[in-house]
Structure 1
Amino acid sequence: MDYPFQFPKTIRNPFGEALTFQKRVVEQGVEKLLVSNTVPPNAGPPFHVHFKQEESLTVIRGKMGYQVQGEAEQFVSVGETVRFPAGQMHRFWNPGPDELLCEGWVKPANTLDFFLAATYQSMQKAGKPEGDLFDSAYLTTRYASEYDLPSIPFFVKKVLMPLTVLMGKALNKYAHFQHAPEPMK
């Protein structure tokens, strides 16, 4: 994977979602990643958390459903914005019949562009949401201080994935991650 990216950079998963990293800008001394995304009907990322980043999405076209863990589902339409503070478990999706288009940002940018590009690439390689076994184990383990998916059981994250990473290193499965940025501590 070529990293750092030339902007704009669009990534796609095998389920029709596309995410474009527009550019990085510095705002009050903090690097912010500007993004846009398209989500087909009935699609969207599962519950996830960015431990160190705030996320904001504004609906440009369509309708967006979103949910904060432990709260009821909510919906927003064109022109409305949703913000998720750092550390807040959340998900969003397209509940409508037409494609959803959002624009937004994540700050600080940290490793999000690399992490998501590698995740989408892994999904493309495997053709399934879980991605390639070795890639998923590597990304989940290496960037555990920044991102989490509660759908992955604790034992899998803390025992099986680290063992898979060790096996992957022994089998030389990670050459394509040679330029992976250091995780944020």
Structure 2
Amino acid sequence: MNIVYPHTIQNCLGEKLTFLGIETGPEGDKVLVENLVTPQSGPPMHTHFRQDEELTVVSGKLAYQVLGQEPKYAYAGSSVLFKRGVPHRFWNAGEEALICTGWIQPANSIVYYLSAIYAAQNKSGKAQPEAFDAAYLLTRYAHEYDMVEIPPFVRKVIIPITYLIGRLLGKYKHFADAPLPLK
């Protein structure tokens, strides 16, 4: 997938994310982002196994939570760092749009992955992405990303079966340009 920056994605849940570009550094490429989140919206609890993520609030009220901890809040000018491997989520806890800038490092496959997740949410029209697309993405990138709230039975039985059925039915042709997963 050849991405031209800035690259903007938007899902049906009120999240708009613009990948502004790539900054090269000694610790790897860093993708620069800007996001706009409508009130009470935000991604579910998730993990980036191989990336750090930082958000700086431009305007609005950011609520964030690390798995097992109480929610915390950040306001304009404050930054929040989510270290790789730490399950976390964030959402707009205010009544106006939340605008943040930030980065994810190293960039790896994050632009492709999130673009595909947003597209799958838009396809389903709800928070749960379209089942075959979700099964493909969660299987292919299982060593890079995790959706913590998926029940173990779904993770270990339903997703693998859905993935295999999708392969048999030829459901994954639109993922032909998917970047290779990290090993």
Q: TM-score, normalised by structure 1?
A: 0.96
Tell me, yes or no, if structure 1 residue 15 matches structure 2 residue 25: no
Deviations 1:30-73 (A, max 9, x none): 11110010000011111111000000000001110111111111
The count of residues paired between Structure 1 and Structure 2 equals: 183
Amino acid of the structure 2 residue aligned with 1:69: L
Q: Secondary structure of 2:73's partner?
A: strand
CA root-mean-square deviation: 0.9
Unaligned runs of 5+ in 2: none
1:145 to 143, 146, 159: 143
Distance of 2:104 and 2:124 partners within structure 1: 27
Q: Which residue of 2 aligns with 1:57?
A: 55
Task: Identify which range, 21-30 or 33-42, moves more after superposition.
Answer: 21-30
Q: Secondary structure of 2:29's partner?
A: strand
Per-residue deviation at 1:184? 1.1
Distance of 1:4 and 1:146 partners within structure 2: 20
Q: TM-score, normalised by structure 2?
A: 0.97
Distance of 2:116 and 2:154 partners within structure 1: 20
Task: Identify which range, 22-31 or 43-52, moves more after superposition.
Answer: 22-31
Q: Which residue of 1 aligns with 2:111?
A: 113
Deviations 1:105-136 (A, max 9, x none): 00000011100000000011110111111001
Q: Secondary structure of 1:120's partner?
A: helix
Q: Which residue of 1 aligns with 2:129?
A: 131
1:148-163 superposed matches below 5 A: 148-163=146-161
Per-residue deviation at 1:16? 1.5
Amino acid of the structure 2 residue aligned with 1:159: V
Q: Which residue of 1 aligns with 2:78?
A: 80
Per-residue deviation at 1:4? 2.4
Deviations 1:126-182 (A, max 9, x none): 101111110011101111101111111122112221111111111111110001001
Q: Which residue of 2 aligns with 1:101?
A: 99
Distance of 1:182 and 1:159 partners within structure 2: 24
Unaligned runs of 5+ in 1: none
Contact 2:27–2:106 at 8 Å: present in 1 too? no
Q: Secondary structure of 2:24's partner?
A: strand
Tell me, yes or no, if structure 1 residue 179 matches structure 2 residue 177: yes
Quote the sequence identity (%). 47
Amino acid of the structure 1 residue aligned with 2:123: K
Distance of 2:163 and 2:10 partners within structure 1: 25
Task: Identify which range, 153-162 or 88-97, moves more after superposition.
Answer: 153-162
Amino acid of the structure 2 residue aligned with 1:147: Y
Amino acid of the structure 1 residue aligned with 2:166: G
Amino acid of the structure 2 residue aligned with 1:142: R
Q: Secondary structure of 1:59's partner?
A: strand
Q: Which residue of 2 aligns with 1:31?
A: 29
